[in-house]
Structure 1
């Protein structure tokens, strides 16, 4: 049935009925529930993406099979092919988002049967939103009696839903809705302001903390934009509790890093990746993005704090405690793309509480999470200057001594395709004929029509990483961090586009060449790296997946035997007590794999109905462990579907080995 209340559209199926999570009167039961559930986007607020479940092991993983599907065909027009959300599983119910209008779904965790659905009809406001997709999920709050699901709409509204029924909570905001645009502290157009959200809010105690996501900044219409301020509201009422200016205003620390008053009009510097929290201390960690103008900073000269920064706040007050800028004056779109990972490890015989920020530039910055000081030395090294008129690149950038970079950085002739001498020669000729600069690491973007005749700079990693939103996974028992990355260069070529922007220069003028349909750089094209956080050393690295068919079957490679190149996409990861689950990533091979955590060797692989578009998650219900992820197959017109794997159950009353899924 459908019930319209105000502007909200409710669609009810069989309504979920389950017991609210209580303050733990019986610690063992609470601990068991916590082990079985997946209560946050990365399972915990520390961002580990690790589960201690061990029902699925190397000994039985070969029996893993599809248990059920949940299809999104009816929840988006046009169909959605890239759902990046991670479901939550609490009390036997899954909660997730789907579709361009961000339907919120509750489903039975054992069967996938829908319990309730909800969406908000935002009309024109949604059409103008910069993030018109399913988002990456929802958040959960309880006071021991009430249970709420929090979601942020494409139009940047925060909504509180009753977790049992899917109905908006009438006592929160206005009929369950808070207009986040009204809380920014700057005047913006409610319909057209290009600010939204892509990651679920962080919920702690009675606070809901929202990190905004803004328009992608390749060709912004103006050097003036909405600032990406961090907002915290009361989980019970929706009232604003605090606001943090990621671009400092006059009188605030960091304002001096914006020359000529550019902090007054520059925007972005939001937190589109998930946030993390040290629950013991109440320390909130913000992975902040670049400022307006991803590739040109002539309108915002200076270091530009707190853009492209890992910032630590007091979650209860919003007061900044410390910060570490990962890119000074970012002109590469090297946002901090992942939730900071919090870990307790022993280093040099001493217990250390650390935070790890994975980056698009393939560095893992490891800091003391209380003080912000580096665990291993981080040196400010000179980097190339810019010759773009009006631009002034930072003179130095931070280079960690440990861990070493987990993917390639910078492009030289040695990085180009080398299957045969002829292919290498063709690659060099393409670069010479295209008049591309082969950039050293941190080489700044150049003009598409530079005075020296060059047409852009070949940059590695590119603007998509390295690492991106797919995150990593940390095993607290072994101290091992697993990181996926994509060796994907970008041609940075700046152009004037007075018809679309008032900026001096915008990006988008370059095109990456290929060699007879093959990538211009040599493989692996993507990889998974294991890093021992107790020592800062790499433990192993494997290519992410197999060699794509388009490469393996390329006529230029006929008769050659080549090692697996890895997929041309970023891997998705999940660590459990027993295995590392992974898949190629969006548009990669439709395969789910389980790896040996100690070596990276493949233990098992199974077919998916499409390529993975989300990271896997896991939970246990009724004694059965499930592994879930979203898949899709755009080429065949198959929209996103949620796929659940589990070990088949023995068929009741039979002893012949028959089983049911």
Structure 2
């Protein structure tokens, strides 16, 4: 059993990643009384080289530990703040190289917290913070002072050794927080996509939490008879301390879009993998995508909870996917709680590919978003005579539905490789037994390029070009957009979805995000934005950021948007909540997302209910404004103007790089 978060000591609120808080001070009845409590700036805008800062994604979720609010910056600085005022208490800088060109940009989603119960109460490093870095180090700090723990590794750090020579220094990095259980700290990795077939292996490593000595390593990919790397764990992990299990969401083998050198299902890639945390021994594994050639790896933290199934309560693992599936598995065995069917999927791949004939489909819980794209789903913001570019692009592609294989002709991939649920994961309310998740809706155009042609071509600007060295094909991947710079699929482009898992029923959908921070004059068309970030559930409310600069509160029962809090930059991170000196706070990192082309910043922002004499101001408001309500010719003119702004919004959502 995993206890719900009271003070947010884990990246996902609790060790099982439910992102649920039992705090009830902030409710639908008073959410419109939220005010900004404080704002903290990391200083990265001024202190970092512009070229490096332009490659940042501020995705951190703070922890409340040892009377401090602790988080990491995109450059792996660890900062401790006073929870009530936002005043800095200490700061640690590991001095990462800002010239590495990390494949997945400068990002640090969080740190892990651990207490050494064997140490004296006043001993240095009795409570510790662990962080993985962009330059592949695992660092241990005293949680109270921010000083290195010298007995851990060498002067408080362990360097992760990669067996294979890197193509460039940034090919291998760590972006998600480690996890700790039974005195073992576990860390994954993030590896550059589509560079080569024989890529670095996706080894997950366990270290002694006191000394930093290696305890075990686990390569998710079985290499017998295949040539591939990856299957790494770049997304957050979960821990069941009582069972002594760590749960890994594994990624696809290399490269993402051609698997001719790796026949078979490529077990244990694209899987929920449960390991014995003390030894690294495999307990069980469940694969969600066989022989992945779509970059449909597992991007989200497995959520651990006790679920009413209709046949009694069971401890389960809930795993959302990019395809929009939610797999619900028994925590002891990995067996599906409800039937999962192997269904036939499109065949007819390029020469040398060896697709598998079926893929697993959950039968009880419906998909969180549509999984097929038809001509009527094309978004015509203006009449076709003005712009038919989406029809022209998409009509020429192979489109046989979910799992249509990549082709030299070009394949319509929907959901896209950054679609469905991403690294933000899902939240689960154990009281109401409801799952909440953000999803993104967009179309990818994936095209395989024959090797002789690829070796001569100049990579197209604005297109993700993967050489896939060692394969007979390179790959291009681009989000389908119109000539006006708008997504080719009909809105909404981002939604929050509430699911009754026991009933197997979608309860509601709510569009999240507007065009306000992109369109001229701040016009707020409620089309939604991609939502790679997660949510927090508390007091009958669900809070989320988006790729516009607002923190939002939705009614957990209905999905009605009740409140917006203005941010200095988009909060493309998971919000968190805690109680401090009798007041409940909501906090989110607001620094934007360079790959999505949003504005960038370096802020952490906290909200709380107004005290006596305080009142909400312009940046905090209930949802009663008519933003975006235009008609007729005014709408067409505005859309054309908005397109000029949207054309700068690159929407380059690249699978696991989100």
> TM-score, normalized by length of structure 2?
0.83
Alignment of 1:352-391 (within 5 A): 352-391=314-353
How far residue 369 of structure 1 moved from its aligned partner, in angstroms, is: 1.4
Aligned to 1:436: 397
CA contact (8 A) 1:415 1:521 kept: yes
Alignment of 1:125-524 (within 5 A): 127=100, 129-144=102-117, 145=121, 146-181=126-161, 186=163, 188=165, 192=169, 194-217=171-194, 220=195, 222-249=196-223, 255=224, 261-262=225-226, 265-417=227-379, 422=384, 426=388, 429-431=391-393, 435-447=396-408, 454=409, 456-495=410-449, 496=451, 497-498=454-455, 501-508=469-476, 512-514=480-482, 516-524=484-492
How far residue 416 of structure 1 moved from its aligned partner, in angstroms, is: 1.9
CA distance in 2, matches of 1:509, 1:201: 30
Instruction: Identify if the C-alpha distance between structure 1 residues 425 and 107 changes in structure 2 by more than 3 Å, giving closer, same or farther.
Output: closer
Q: Give 3-state SS (helix, strand or coil) of 1:324's partner.
A: strand
Aligned to 1:596: 555
Whether 1:67 and 2:20 are equivalent positions in the alignment is no
Aligned to 1:83: 58
CA distance in 2, matches of 1:442, 1:548: 35
Instruction: Identify if the C-alpha distance between structure 1 residues 96 and 423 changes in structure 2 by more than 3 Å, giving closer, same or farther.
Output: farther
Instruction: Identify if the C-alpha distance between structure 1 residues 349 and 163 changes in structure 2 by more than 3 Å, giving closer, same or farther.
Output: same
CA contact (8 A) 1:525 1:568 kept: yes
Instruction: Identify if the C-alpha distance between structure 1 residues 605 and 267 changes in structure 2 by more than 3 Å, giving closer, same or farther.
Output: same
How far residue 55 of structure 1 moved from its aligned partner, in angstroms, is: 1.3
CA distance in 1, matches of 2:482, 2:116: 56
Aligned to 2:642: none
How far residue 472 of structure 1 moved from its aligned partner, in angstroms, is: 1.6
Aligned to 2:630: none
Instruction: Identify if the C-alpha distance between structure 1 residues 197 and 517 changes in structure 2 by more than 3 Å, giving closer, same or farther.
Output: closer
How far residue 640 of structure 1 moved from its aligned partner, in angstroms, is: 2.1
Which stretch shows the higher mean deviation, 409-418 or 59-68?
409-418
Deviations 1:277-300 (A, max 9, x none): 222211221100001111111221
Deviations 1:417-453 (A, max 9, x none): 2668748993674137x72223411101111xxxxxx
Q: Give 3-state SS (helix, strand or coil) of 2:246's partner.
A: strand
Task: Give unmatched runs, 5+ long, in structure 1.
Answer: 1-30, 250-254, 256-260, 448-453, 556-561, 652-656
Larger Rg: 1
How far residue 169 of structure 1 moved from its aligned partner, in angstroms, is: 0.9
CA distance in 1, matches of 2:397, 2:173: 36
How far residue 215 of structure 1 moved from its aligned partner, in angstroms, is: 1.0
CA contact (8 A) 1:439 1:459 kept: no
Instruction: Identify if the C-alpha distance between structure 1 residues 160 and 553 changes in structure 2 by more than 3 Å, giving closer, same or farther.
Output: closer
CA contact (8 A) 1:131 1:154 kept: no
How far residue 72 of structure 1 moved from its aligned partner, in angstroms, is: 2.1
CA distance in 2, matches of 1:165, 1:511: 45
Deviations 1:501-535 (A, max 9, x none): 33211221656241644322222221111011222
How far residue 99 of structure 1 moved from its aligned partner, in angstroms, is: 3.4
How far residue 331 of structure 1 moved from its aligned partner, in angstroms, is: 0.7
Q: Give 3-state SS (helix, strand or coil) of 2:398's partner.
A: strand
CA contact (8 A) 2:345 2:403 kept: yes
How far residue 322 of structure 1 moved from its aligned partner, in angstroms, is: 1.2
CA distance in 2, matches of 1:575, 1:424: 44
Aligned to 1:19: none
Q: Give 3-state SS (helix, strand or coil) of 2:392's partner.
A: helix
Aligned to 2:636: none
CA contact (8 A) 1:49 1:474 kept: yes
Instruction: Identify if the C-alpha distance between structure 1 residues 423 and 333 changes in structure 2 by more than 3 Å, giving closer, same or farther.
Output: farther
How far residue 536 of structure 1 moved from its aligned partner, in angstroms, is: 2.1
How far residue 96 of structure 1 moved from its aligned partner, in angstroms, is: 0.8
Aligned to 1:545: 513
How far residue 570 of structure 1 moved from its aligned partner, in angstroms, is: 4.1
Alignment of 1:610-621 (within 5 A): 610-621=569-580
How far residue 544 of structure 1 moved from its aligned partner, in angstroms, is: 1.7
How far residue 155 of structure 1 moved from its aligned partner, in angstroms, is: 1.4
CA distance in 1, matches of 2:390, 2:96: 51
> TM-score, normalized by length of structure 1?
0.83
CA contact (8 A) 2:198 2:470 kept: no
CA distance in 1, matches of 2:441, 2:556: 22
CA contact (8 A) 2:57 2:74 kept: no
CA distance in 2, matches of 1:350, 1:90: 35
CA contact (8 A) 2:252 2:270 kept: yes
Instruction: Identify if the C-alpha distance between structure 1 residues 535 and 552 changes in structure 2 by more than 3 Å, giving closer, same or farther.
Output: farther
Deviations 1:222-256 (A, max 9, x none): 2111111111000000011111121125xxxxx4x
Instruction: Identify if the C-alpha distance between structure 1 residues 406 and 103 changes in structure 2 by more than 3 Å, giving closer, same or farther.
Output: same
Q: Give 3-state SS (helix, strand or coil) of 1:519's partner.
A: coil
